[in-house]
Amino acid sequence: MLRNLIIIAAVIIVFMILRKRFSTSGNTGKTNPVSNSTHMVQCQSCDTYVPETEAVREGKHFFCCQQHLRDWSDRTE
Ligand SMILES: [Zn+2]
């Protein structure tokens, strides 16, 4: 009976250690991609906010699509 309790206690301790390890590595893995993907930039042509990864970049300016980049450069020339 006492042996069974020791085995059960050992299994619980090992399980808790593994769970702690997985949860901490999971948190650090989650925070970085979220903060990168949610960075929004504003289109200079139509003022729409788009994710920086999907935006068309021209120097310091961002655009939601190639067409708005062309529209904006036509207007500023
Ligand atoms: Zn636009």
Number of domains in the chain: 2
Ligand 1 centroid, distance to 22 Cα (angstroms): 42
pLDDT at residue 2 greater than cutoff 60: yes
How many H helices and E strands in the chain?
2, 4
Q: How many residues would you count in the chain?
A: 77
Give the pLDDT score at 30: 53
**43/77 same-domain check:** yes
Task: Tell me the pTM.
Answer: 0.51
**60/48 same-domain check:** yes
Ligand 1 centroid, distance to 34 Cα (angstroms): 24
pLDDT in tens, 21-58: 877 765 555 555 555 457 999 999 999 999 999 999 99
Q: Are 68 and 43 in contact (CB under 8 A)?
A: yes
Which residue range(s) make up the domain with 24?
A: 1-36
**44/76 same-domain check:** yes
